[in-house]
Amino acid sequence: MILGIDVSTTASKALLLGPDGEVKAVASSSHELSTPRPLWSEQDPEDWWSATCKAIQAVLSEAQIDASEIRSIGLTGQMHGLVLLDAEGSVIRPAILWNDQRSSAECEYIRERIGLAELVRISGNDAFPGFTAPKLLWVRNNEPQNFERVAQVLPAKDYIRYRLTGVFGTDRAGAGGTLLLNLASRTWSNDLLELLEIPSAWLPPTHEGTETTGIIHTEATQETGLASGTPVVAGGGDQAAQAVGVGAVSPSVHALTIGTSGVVFAPCTQPVTDPRGNMHAFPHAVPGLWHVMGVMLSAAGSLQWYRDTFAGNVSFDHLVAEAASVPIGCEELTFLPYLSGERTPHANPHARGAFVGLTLAHGRGHVTRSVLEGVGFGLLDNQRLLMECGVSAPQSMRASGGALKSPIWSQMLADILGTPLEPVQTTEGAAFGAAILAGVGAGVWGSVTEAVGQTVRTGSPILPDAHRTLQYGQAYDRFRSLYPAINGA
């Protein structure tokens, strides 16, 4: 057996994977989100640990196996967070999460101190409040008493690694999300650390996703039920592990994930960056690969908001069925999905959504379809951004997330993107990917590519229709013209 652990924003999940690729058991335990002030988003790392212990105990019980049968453990989880430990290894303050927006001023400081072009050249990314480095500078500027105590800086899943093994470490995909990694060398950037006056001793050693970082120690054995000495591999940040879990481990296969947010993920054999910093570039969890990704903040979340606000008693299936009878382009009704600002390709936290072109001729089906199309066009924006920066066009796109439950919306997305979509049968992408990385690290499989070939299963591909793709192109042009008109760009 192989164990994958995913420390997400909402819960800690444990997944047991057999060498045949079958998921033997899954369990999760939730944790609370705290928003003590506007724009703030925090969690107590102790809650992660407590939830992780519960999830591990539950999955061992569900599978009815002895912990000694677990050959290796892989970790994944939410990226970009800030966990601060003192010299005794105790948590100094609540963790600041990926969706926290308090550090805009620190982002401006980073750009001015380093220069956007140099920052992107080194790290592959612009400074966003979601990243770790601006959060650390915010603590320095606003909580000096806490900053003086700092001895170690960790992302979320690496705090769990510390509690499991007693050692510090992180994967290189997750480290890329701190804004402190040299993208090309896959090591911490001494230049960035010196310019931002951050001691290198505060950062953990970095590892490739399949490398062993430590073993389960005695105290963790008592709290989790795991066997002492079980190896723990590096794993990956949630998006990189998700990509492994769906089989996006070569440049010819991209990944599309549609949950509350939407992600277009492309593996690369060398670093690829956007000089404007409009997309994200990190090492992949697969050794020797990198990845770029575009992230839109309100994908299926747009449909959720629309239904809850305007049609709360109507099922999603019924709404989407109504939309299916409406012509492509919604008779010139367009929805801009910037309900939470936007991340890529418009790095604008103040971007706003809109319905444009409403007339008396439009009914609920038109409005629903405009939401579905608007999300598709936002994803196409991101796919085109990746292509503009030199990423190879995919032969197929592994698709996962709630939108894929709808055949109508799935076909719509394939037509808009003009790319075959391959639905992935597992719904446990990140934890599944972490388990695959652990299996490779333990020698169950010889490589990530081999492991994916034996474990990842896809459904029948959803093929785009060339004529409909052309029709969507006209509606997309209208969509593209509206962002600067509405948001003053």
Integer-rounded Cα Rg, in Å, for the chain is 22
Q: How far, rounded to the nearest angstrom, does the alpha carbon of residue 319 sit from its chain's CA centroid?
A: 28
On whether the CB atoms of residues 164 and 73 are closer than 8 A, the answer is yes
If you ran DSSP here, which 8-state letter would residue 261 be given? Answer: S
Closest residue by Cα to residue 338 from 297, 385, 368: 297
Identify the helix (H) or strand (E) that includes residue 356.
strand 354-356
Establish whether 238 is a catalytic residue: yes
Structure tokens at 96: 């600041």
Burial 217-249 (b: 16+ CB within 10 A, else e): beebbeebbbeeebbbbbbbbbbbbbbbbbbbb
Closest residue by Cα to residue 279 from 290, 294, 267: 294
| Cis status of the peptide bond prior to 345, with omega within 30 of 0 | yes
Using left for φ > 0, alpha for ψ between -120 and 50, and beta otherwise, residue 124 falls in left
Given the residues 126, 158, 171, 238, select the one marked as catalytic.
Answer: 238
Structure tokens at 310: 């305007």
Signed CA dihedral, 7, 9, 15, 21: sign only = negative
Residue 350, CA distances (Å) to 25, 247, 296, 336, 340 in order? 42, 35, 14, 13, 8
Give the pairing type, strands 2-7 and 72-77: parallel
Structure tokens at 367: 């409005």
**Rounded distance, CA 216 to CA 487, Å?**
51
**Rounded distance, CA 456 to CA 398, Å?**
10
**Alpha-carbon dihedral 103, 107, 110, 115, rounded to 10 degrees:** 180
On whether the CB atoms of residues 364 and 330 are closer than 8 A, the answer is no
Structure tokens at 140: 């320095």
Active site positions, annotated: 238
